[in-house]
Structure 1
Amino acid sequence: MSPASIPPAEQPDSPTGVDVGVPGPGTPDQQDDRGRGRSRVGRVLRVVVPSLLALAWVAVAGIGGPYFGRVDEVSSNDNTSFLPASADATRVQQRLTDFTGDDVIPAVIVFAADDKLTAGQLTELGEAVKRAEKVDGVADGASPVIRSEDGRAAEAFVPVDSDADVGEVVAAIRTAVTDKTPEGVTAHVTGPAGFTADLKEAFSGIDGLLLGVALAAVLVILVIVYRSLLLPILVLITSTFALCVALLVVWLLAKADVLVLTGQTQGILFILVIGAATDYALLYTARFREELASRQDKLAATRASLRSTVEPILASGGTVIAGLLCLLLSDLNSNKSLGPVAAIGIAFALLAALTLLPSLLLIFGRAAYWPRMSRRSRPQTDPGISGLYARIGDRISRRPRLTWIVVTLALLAGTVGVTQLRADGVPQSDLVTTTSDARDGQRVLADHFPGGSGTPAYVITAEDDLQRTADVLLADRGIDSVAVTAKDSAAGTLPVTSDGIQQAGPPGGKPAEPTVSGGDVLLQATLTDPADSVDAEETISRLRDRLAGVAMIGGETATAVDTNAASIHDRNLIIPVVLAVIMLILMILLRAVLAPLLLIIATVLSLGTAMGVSALMFNQVLDLPGADPAVPLYGFVFLVALGVDYNIFLMTRVREEALAHGTRAGIRRGLAITGGVITSAGLVLAATFAALAVIPILFLLQLAIIVAFGVLLDTFIVRTLLVPAVTLDIGRRIWWPSKLGRAPEPR
């Protein structure tokens, strides 16, 4: 058989890699010149361009890779810095150094024994505190050892320089104190510095453990899905390189103070980029394999694959980026910073999936799919319209209305659990889910001292209102004692009672005076309840009402109150905005109004079920203390944006098939063709988010459960059953008001 008689889709590759075609007109010399020209162009497109793109990614990722070990240089976990500048806690924090002189973070060393502490033991404890004072990073001004009223505990306050590495300083303090603690006495380091150190320790596994678990989970799933040796490696290279480049850009922006990077944001960035890049890669690899199955030339297959996948991938990434950028409307700087950080990650995931991966697959061709596809594999006709999802589509098509009604009722039943979601904040001591020395120390403090010892509420008021403000504080049941920050005082503060400022020191000495800055003074109020407790937060809210217009209240407890209020504001504002933005993107993508509306409703229904079931799991199975107010917001943003992704993958293919075969046939064909790849993508994304649970932070554990379960729900229920059933029931009207919605169904 001559080359001219071979159908174009079945022509073998020539030695130069260019399709063998029918000779064109002209002299043999002219034909040879054109052939050599096409050969050179083909060689450039097949080898040079993809090689240059791959090398460019290798170079930039190689620069970004080492920054995994340098994230601490630009990362911050200071809760006050997350608040808006208008918050009282922020304004108080900004003025503290005007009164105290030093920018320090208090560490509270607490000792406890079963029996009353002896004089000798107290002396040894004093020596232990002196050793702690010599630790690098500890500022001047440590307090003497103070024994509790019951005599079975003692405490001391050690200021830690805020510019020092708080985690390392606290670890050194713990070692120094433990070495000198007498037998029968236990020691803990708690207070703001202690909790900061424990949080930093909990986040320490992000660079290694989290990334390793996520990549291992993805690799296992890809090997099972592809049953190929090389393709999973190429996909992982794509997602890993995307993460390296995204981290490099984020690091540089954080270093320039353009955005804020926290341990929490860092973990989400890692997971989001790995999961999203892998999902986009799965969509492209599936389409590339489909094209290779219908044509011999891999360059033609690459062009066709890019034409078919660029729109859904860009739309998918665009919905996630748009949803994340809506976080810029947040009052909380922690939420506001996550938006651009994660959006940068998604942008590079998109770029890698549409440039690096196509380049790698163009270079390797069918060898990437070996042993399921070999270089000698011949084209097939109409691949991908049989199998499990084709059978599911056939079953749904018999009773579509019954199917979507039953599924909807089941999902609605799951949403009932939302009423059990306690997302009104949790104590700082519960943020770490594993052992915490600071939490143990806080419990000892609460047993033997006023709960707020070492973590006072800071109250700034006018000098003329000092006594009036102190009287309001002392009259509140949640306040144990009040002191005013003073100059020329060895203790740094002077007690304030209803009788006025109490002077300390020898009789006849010069009385100390309050420190005055801008006509204001700083009062320190010791709370009767632990500073991170609900009762303490209620005390702060109550005092703010009573001192409105007279004083500003800050400190750890006030920061928690302001953070919760800002989180609730963000949740109520951002959720409807995200829905509107994603709805608009879907309308542009699908050229319709009704289909996007139904997709949004289905996704929100899935979100409600995920939240409801997760709430029951938090309360009844895991017995968690509650949830941060940001948990529902983050769960919403990720589930709505990512959940819509799978519906985008499905419905863009359905629309493509509907244009050729009609809507009813299109939904069955679209489900059959995309079923495997979307299921694989859902498993990958669920596995990557589930990896967040290895970091012992309550917020990340809850986010992992909500998003992983929600993604699986979207993958196996919403996209597989609900959306196809509704589409089949409505028929071509689903595309209203586009022309496709008015086109008659083929017979």
Structure 2
Amino acid sequence: MFHRIGRVVVRHPVWTIVAWIFVAAGIVATAPSLPSNSDQSSFLPKSYESIQAADLQQSAFPSAFTPSAIVLYQRSDGGKLTPDDLKDAARITGELGAKKIDQVQQVVPGPPSKDGRYVLGLVSMDTKNAGQPTQLDAAKTLRSDAKELTKGTQLDAKLGGSAAQGLDQQDSSSRANALTFVGTFAIILITLLIIFRSPILAVLPLVVLIALVFSTANALIADASKLFGLQANSSTSALLIVVLLGVGTDYYLFLMFRYRERLRAGDEPKVAMVNAVGRVGEAIASAAGAVMISFLALLLSTLGFLKQMGPALAITVAVTLLAALTLFPAICSLIPPRALFWPSKAWLKEPSNARFAALGRGVQRRPALFAVVSGVVMIALALGTLGFKATFDLASGSMPKTQESMVVQTEMQNAYSAGAAEPTSVLVTSTGDGRLDTAALPAYERKLSAVQGVADVQPAAISKDGRTANVTVTLKYGSATDQAISAVGDVRDVAHADAPPGTKALVGGMSSIYKDINAAVNHDYRTVFPLAALLIMIILGLLLRSVVAPWYLMASVGLGFGATLGATVLIFQKGQGHSGLMFMLPVIMYLFVVAIGTDYNILMISRLREEAREGRDPREAASRAVRHAGPTVAAAGFILAATFATLMLAGNSLLTEMGFAVSFGIVVAAFVMAMFFTPSLTALIGHAAWWPGHQDRKSTPDVETVDARELEPSAKN
């Protein structure tokens, strides 16, 4: 099939390029704008208690609210607020409310801090649009207006809360995307220049991927988001850039290394490209299939963030795959090799590949030693996973501490109870037709106040219909901390067990949301991980026609995942003292490391099978595979690892941890698993690795022998 694709593309390169341009232009022109959402509660479906509590609170107490934004007033000199300062703060709060800013429903005065240095203005916004761009615009206006209104007073005003955090996340994301793009572009360009020593071959993939593939993929993502009601997240765009450029460059390298090899073998240029597509096409398609299957497995996630990210990344890889099999071959087949590889002449002769030949000979002579050493290294690193802890503070994880909303969060935690900014709501509602027995509520509140970790319990507010009570519970800890999540679990236990007769209790608030996110992540570990692994094994089985090889290939990838997570724990938790790693990191890392690690395994074992089909015994086939596929795997692994490492330039802990973890995992996948572990195990297992398909049996080489004239557009069939 891939030879046929190569023949069509090489015979009609101009039409292939024109078709790409017209289709891409049509898709981009008709695509809707890409929606975005930074509301963390939207991560969860309505079956979770925290979301049910939020819905009940909104219906029973429409005038009550959890602040979407908080104006924090303090004196410019840092001293205690005077009575005049308090009057100015109240006046500014009233004027902000009177401006009727879009999305802002009311702005009311909040309590002063115990030390007398701060006072609050609490902002209510339309909860239906939480996290949407319209509310981020409202936060921007509020921040500007508050600073303007403090002129002529002794006050400074800063804006915090979820809407302000969303605005600051958006700004940080824009800078992160720019840094990621520039860093990725520079790394790929420099590395390709070093590998090919040709400016055309270095610039070509970047121009094609950015000009056509990225715009097409983004437009298709927007179409899919509108069709299926998905939302984008600010962190997804940086990942799209890295996946597109990194994976696209990998597939480009797979193709061009094989094209250059066929030219050195004496093929005519057009025949060489057909053979390159035919020989490496199956490996590229299988590798892309494994990546897409892994990303699409995220559709089973209960977390909205991951469910939204999965299809976007899968679409990006699918468009990249199509470009690798059609657009790149079409463009390269139009350029004579001497011009394509200019000024280098290295493409004319086979290099000695002394280092990789030596590695191949080592694998051939001592496969057991290579397998044991590489396996022990990965197991040793994997032991670090025992210390893994998760953190749920996405706001501080996705932007620097110097952002205004993060400064507000820190100052409020110091001046007020740490949980004051995002209190917990215990909603007690009647299960019958009657009203609540309010006489039972004081005793209920005392039981809640006795829960360890509770700082304060406010008297219950009763809904207009008398059927629901809202008990505001302030925790001693910040809403995203481990202590708060543990404490809200205890609050839930008491709230459920001691609810007055004829009522039921629901516990809401951000700490409750984080606790439910933790439960959702654990669900994903039990469903997404095994399903992705199973589907990748099926792809490997179909590619290799074997039921043996997929098992040890997936075992090696699993070891790579464990080693990567263990190393990340050791670096960030043990080395840098982080309280934990971002809660979704293991899921993302698993999918990237497993899927992309399988890419390199597929390339290596496909080459190993190819060498075996030419009559070589298992050990010699492994040696030859390392010699010939090793440079491709090393180059692709380095580029992809370096591109993911650019996420560490973003300046926030979420992308820093993600960048390190995925880049380290790719290094392990390319330079440990694919280079040593997989070929060594295959050499040791021998012919049994291919059972029952016997794909290593000697066969006719899979090379086109057609006359190059048949590939000319004017040729007759």
Aligned letter for 2:166?
T
Identity of paired residues, percent? Answer: 26
Q: Which residue of 2 aligns with 1:489?
A: none
Q: Structure 1's 637 and 179: CA in aligned 2 closer, same or farther, altered over 3 A?
A: same
1:173 deviates by: 2.4
* Pairwise CA distance, 1:719: 1.8
1:124 aligned partner: 88
Is 1:593 paired with 2:556? no
Is it true that 1:311 corresponds to 2:306 in the alignment? no
Contact 1:85 1:91 in 2 (8 A): yes
Q: What SS is found at the alignment partner of 1:606?
A: helix
Q: Does 1:166 align with 2:135?
A: yes
* Matched position secondary structure for 2:631: helix
Match of 2:382?
415
Q: Aligned ranges for residues 239-318 of structure 1 at < 5 Å?
A: 239-240=209-210, 241-318=212-289
Asked whether the equivalents of residues 569 and 581 of structure 2 are also in contact (C-alpha less than 8 Å), the reply is no
Contact 2:604–2:679, Cα closer than 8 Å, also in 1:
no
Quick one: which amino acid aligns to residue 459 of structure 1?
V
Where does residue 150 of structure 1 map in the other structure?
A: 115
1:720 paired to 2:675: yes
Deviation at 1:211, TM superposition (A): 2.3
Aligned to 1:57: 20
Q: Does residue 101 of structure 2 align to residue 136 of structure 1?
A: yes
Instruction: Describe the SS at the equivalent of 1:737.
Output: coil
| Match in the other structure for 2:367 | 400
> How far apart are residue 234 of structure 1 and its match?
1.7
**2:49 is matched with which residue: 56, 63, 88?**
88
- The alignment status of 1:176 with 2:155, answered yes or no, reads no
Task: Output one character per residue of 1:16-35: Cα deviation in whole Å (capped at 9) or x when no partner.
Answer: xxxxxxxxxxxxxxxxxxxx
The answer on whether the counterparts of 2:391 and 2:481 sit within 8 Å (CA) in structure 1 is no
Alignment correspondent of 2:411? 444
Provide the C-alpha distance between the structure 2 equivalents of 1:466 and 1:590, rounded to a whole number of angstroms: 69
Work out whether residues 626 and 679 of structure 2, in 8 Å CA contact, stay in contact via their aligned partners in 1. Answer: yes
User: 1:646 offset after TM fit, Å?
Assistant: 0.5
Q: Distance in 2 between matches of 1:555 and 1:573?
A: 27
The residue number in structure 2 matching 1:30 is none
Cα separation, 1, equivalents of 2:446 and 2:163:
27
The amino acid across from 2:74 in the alignment is A
> Which of 623, 632, 638 in structure 2 is aligned with 1:668?
623
Query: Secondary structure of 2:199's partner?
Result: coil
Contact conserved, 2:169 with 2:395, CA < 8 A, in 1?
no
Tell me which of 560, 575, 588 is aligned to 1:621.
Answer: 575
C-alpha RMSD of matched pairs (Å)? 3.0
Match of 1:224 in 2: 194
For 2:516 and 2:143, how far apart are their aligned partners in 1?
31
- Amino acid aligned to 2:422: T
* Rounded Cα–Cα distance in structure 1 between residues aligned with 2:30 and 2:16: 22
Which residue of structure 1 aligns with residue 465 of structure 2?
Answer: 516
Asked whether the equivalents of residues 53 and 356 of structure 1 are also in contact (C-alpha less than 8 Å), the reply is: yes
Aligned residue in 2 for 1:353:
324
SS for the counterpart of 1:142 is strand
Q: CA deviation at 1:64?
A: 6.4
Please report how far the alpha carbon of residue 435 of structure 1 lies from its aligned counterpart in structure 2 after TM superposition.
1.6
Q: 2:293 aligns with which of 322, 326, 346?
A: 322
2:425–2:472 Cα contact (<8 Å) kept: yes
In the alignment, residue 334 of structure 2 is paired with which amino acid?
I
Q: Distance in 2 between matches of 1:225 and 1:64?
A: 34
Q: Distance in 2 between the 1:308 and 1:243 partners? A: 26
Q: 1:561 to 1:455 in 2, by over 3 A?
A: same
| Separation in structure 1 between the aligned mates of residue 385 and residue 66 of structure 2, nearest angstrom | 41
Per the TM alignment, residue 393 of structure 1 is displaced from its structure 2 partner at its CA by 0.8
- Cα 1:465–1:419 change in 2 (3 A) is farther
2:715 matched residue in structure 1: none
Deviations 1:485-505 (A, max 9, x none): xxxxxxxxxx53xxxx6xxxx
* Alpha-carbon distance in structure 2 between the residues aligned to 1:563 and 1:44: 49
Q: Does the Cα contact within 8 Å between 1:465 and 1:550 map onto a contact in 2?
A: no
Paired residue secondary structure (1:604) = helix
- Please tell me whether the aligned partners of residues 544 and 695 of structure 2 are also in contact (alpha carbons under 8 angstroms): no
Residue 77 (structure 1) shift: 1.3
User: Residue type matched to 1:118 in 2?
Assistant: T
TM superposition score normalised by structure 1: 0.83
From the superposition, tell whether residues 473 and 261 of structure 1 become closer, same or farther in structure 2 (CA, over 3 Å).
farther
Q: Is the 8 A contact 2:295 2:591 kept in 1?
A: yes
* 1:211 alignment partner in structure 2: 181
CA contact (8 A) 1:426 1:626 kept: no
**1:612 corresponding residue in structure 2:** 566
Residues 1:193 and 2:193 are matched in the alignment: no
Shift of 1:135: 6.7
Of 35, 38, 50 in structure 2, the residue corresponding to residue 77 of structure 1 is: 38
Shift of 1:716: 1.6
1:393 partner SS: helix
CA separation in 2, counterparts of 1:520 and 1:723? 62
Deviation at 1:591, TM superposition (A): 1.8
SS of the aligned residue for 1:230 comes to helix
Work out the number of aligned pairs and report it.
668
1:108 aligns with 2:70: yes
Q: Separation in 1 of the partners of 2:495 and 2:62? A: 26
The counterpart of 1:543, out of the listed 491, 501, 507, is: 491
Tell me the distance in 1 between the aligned counterparts of 2:588 and 2:597.
Answer: 13
Counterpart residue identity of residue 269, structure 2: K
Q: Which amino acid letter does the alignment assign opposite residue 203 of structure 1?
A: S
Report the CA distance between 1:239 and its aligned residue. Answer: 2.6
Letter aligned with residue 340 of structure 1: P
Distance 1:326 1:622 in 2: 32
Shift of 1:186: 4.4
Shift of 1:677: 1.4
For the residues of structure 2 that align with 1:575 and 1:128, how far apart are their CA atoms? 52
Q: Which structure 1 segments of 5+ residues have no match?
A: 1-41, 484-494, 502-512
Whether contact under 8 Å (1:434, 1:696) holds in the other structure is no
User: How far, CA to CA, are the matches of 2:577 and 2:425 in structure 1?
Assistant: 34
Q: Distance in 2 between matches of 1:200 and 1:516?
A: 40
Whole-Å Cα distance in 1 between the matches of residues 193 and 550 of structure 2?
34
Shift in CA distance, 711/412, structure 1 to aligned 2, threshold 3 Å: same
Partner of 1:33: none
Taking the aligned partners of 1:666 and 1:556, their CA distance within structure 2 comes to: 57
SS, match of residue 91 in structure 1: helix
Cα drift, residue 185 of structure 1: 4.8
Partner of 1:19: none
**Farther-moved stretch of structure 1 (641-650 vs 129-138):** 129-138
Tell me whether 157-166 or 388-397 shows the greater mean CA deviation: 157-166
In the alignment, is the contact (CA less than 8 A) between 1:106 and 1:160 conserved in 2? Answer: yes
User: What CA deviation, in whole Å up to 9, does each residue of 1:192-249 have, x standing for no partner?
Assistant: 2232222222222355332232222211211111111101222223332222211101
State the Cα deviation string for residues 605-652 of structure 1 (Å, max 9, x = none): 122111111111102433323123221111111101100110100110
Alpha-carbon distance in structure 2 between the residues aligned to 1:80 and 1:470? 30
Q: Deviations over 1:643-678 (max 9, x none)?
A: 011010011011011111322222121111111111
- Paired with 2:375 and 2:569, the residues of 1 have a C-alpha distance of 20
Change beyond 3 A, Cα 1:126–1:105: closer
Give the residue type in structure 2 aligned to 1:146: P
Q: CA offset at residue 280 of structure 1?
A: 0.8
1:62 CA displacement: 4.7
Q: Measure how far apart 1:580 and its partner are.
A: 1.8
For residues 42 and 7 of structure 2, the distance between their equivalents in structure 1, rounded to whole angstroms, comes to 55
**More displaced 10-residue stretch of structure 1: 627-636 or 542-551:** 542-551
